[in-house]
Amino acid sequence: MPETTDNYTAMKNRNNQAIGTLRLCLTLAVVLHHSVLAYCTFGYFDHQHYLLSTAPIIDRERWSGFDLLVRWNDTYFMALMFFISGIFVLPGLQRKGPSRYLKDRLLRLGLPFIACVTVIMPVAYYPSILEAGQHISFVTFWLGYFGRFYWPGGPAWFLWYLLLLDALCVLIIRSFPCLSKQLSLVPDFINHHFFAAILVVMTAACAAYLPLAYGFGPDCWLNFGPFFIQGSRITLYAFFFALGCAAGATGIHHPIFQRGSALARYWVFSFCFGALSFGFFLVPSVTTLGLQPLIFVFCCVPFCMALTGLCLCYVRTVPKWVERLMGDAYGVYLLHYAFVTWSQFYVLPLAWGAVPKARLRTY
């Protein structure tokens, strides 16, 4: 999950270790998610149009346990990534000013996005073309990547959309300077009126998600060139980013990010609520009745609060090697997809079983 270097330096402080650990865990969850997609029972590979496949590589060996992991991950992890990214926005904007802040974000997000969609993602998707039976050279594929091969951006979609949200935030704060002071009331409200805050957040998340979910369908992806995004979640991710901006309006040392915060005290309640909702989410009749988008929100919000609270409750200090991993997390996010798809492709002929093959990706 991208952020500026000085933000990461601040995260080494005692009060930031929990958020840094959560950020690292989410990055590893993304890697795990992509590592097991090839082995889910619902996996489908389209030999005519490789981007219509459920993943770049689909193996014949499957395990239903990965289905459960993927569906659970999908309910919370990208929303939580936008939430955490938003936490540092207003303090960074106040410290640097609009021009320097946007310049830093362009360097931190814009340049890696360009590198991803021109170099890293072609490398990552080339094995998919080979599985589709198109025996062409990588140079031929790369030359056609930006045209007839539809220019997929892969996980880099997160970068361009986060950069857009950063820019919109700067524009809004410059247009309404008093908004920062008003947003500073939000973390106090969450901390002192936790259950009321859950109701407010869930209601707002429903308003952000349900219209597009029913309009586009839960799984429809939109794109303009390399700018891909899941249509149903455009406003949901923007909402979680805005919620993160509000929660972090007064800085990372606010009591809401401490071990005794309401998020930390009630993380078990939040997790149980999310788990109960997830149980309903898996019931086939929920999809038949058209309730899946609503139940999705009932999973997403509690899981995001629960995992944040879990880290706040139990993470105080971390070993040096974990701190090093925190610093490497962004690089792992940018580069992992190519390693995952190529390793999945090379073990396609091997009869190891789904679990051993997926474990190979996580090493």
Asked if residue 141 lies in contact with residue 151, where contact means CB atoms within 8 angstroms, the answer is no
3-state secondary structure of 132: coil
Asked if residue 75 lies in contact with residue 281, where contact means CB atoms within 8 angstroms, the answer is yes
Q: Which residues pair with 296 in a beta bridge?
A: none
3-state secondary structure of 45: coil
Could you give the percent of the chain with pLDDT greater than 70?
95
Band (pLDDT 50/70/90 cuts) for residue 10 is very low
138-169 pLDDT tens trace:
999 999 999 888 999 999 999 999 999 999 99
Asked if residue 38 lies in contact with residue 344, where contact means CB atoms within 8 angstroms, the answer is yes
154-211 pLDDT tens trace:
999 999 999 999 999 999 999 998 888 888 899 999 999 999 999 999 999 999 999 9
| Structure token digits, residue 343 | 């390793």
Q: What is the mean pLDDT of the chain?
A: 91
In this structure, is the dihedral angle defined by the CA atoms of residues 298, 300, 306 and 312, taken in order, positive or negative?
negative
DSSP designation for 258: S
| Structure token digits, residue 262 | 């309401």
Residue 346 has pLDDT above 70, yes or no: yes
pLDDT of 363 = 56
Per DSSP (E only), the strands in 189-306 are: 221-224, 227-230
pLDDT of 362 = 58
From CA 226, how far away is CA 152, in angstroms rounded? 6
Could you give phi then psi for residue 329, rounded to 5 degrees? -60, -40
Largest CA distance in the chain: 62
Query: Beta strand 227-230 with 221-224: parallel, antiparallel or unpaired?
Result: antiparallel
- 13-17, 111-115, 182-186, 284-288, range with greatest mean pLDDT: 111-115
Residue 1 has pLDDT above 60, yes or no: no
Please report, as a single letter, which amino acid is at residue 202.
M
Average pLDDT of the segment spanning 270-289: 93
Band (pLDDT 50/70/90 cuts) for residue 13 is very low
In this structure, is the dihedral angle defined by the CA atoms of residues 76, 111, 55 and 32, taken in order, positive or negative?
negative
- Helical H segments across 88-156, by residue range: 89-96, 98-105, 111-115, 121-131, 138-145
pLDDT of 351 = 86
Name residues whose C-beta falls within 8 Å of residue 171's C-beta, 6 or more positions apart in sequence. Answer: none
From CA 263, how far away is CA 195, in angstroms rounded? 10
27-81 pLDDT tens trace:
999 999 999 999 999 999 999 999 999 999 999 999 999 999 999 999 999 999 9
Domain regions of the chain by residue span:
5-362
> Which position has the token pair 């929303």?
79
Asked if residue 21 lies in contact with residue 259, where contact means CB atoms within 8 angstroms, the answer is no
| Structure token digits, residue 116 | 């991803």
Could you give the percent of the chain with pLDDT greater than 90?
79
Name residues whose C-beta falls within 8 Å of residue 118's C-beta, 6 or more positions apart in sequence. Answer: none
Band (pLDDT 50/70/90 cuts) for residue 2 is low
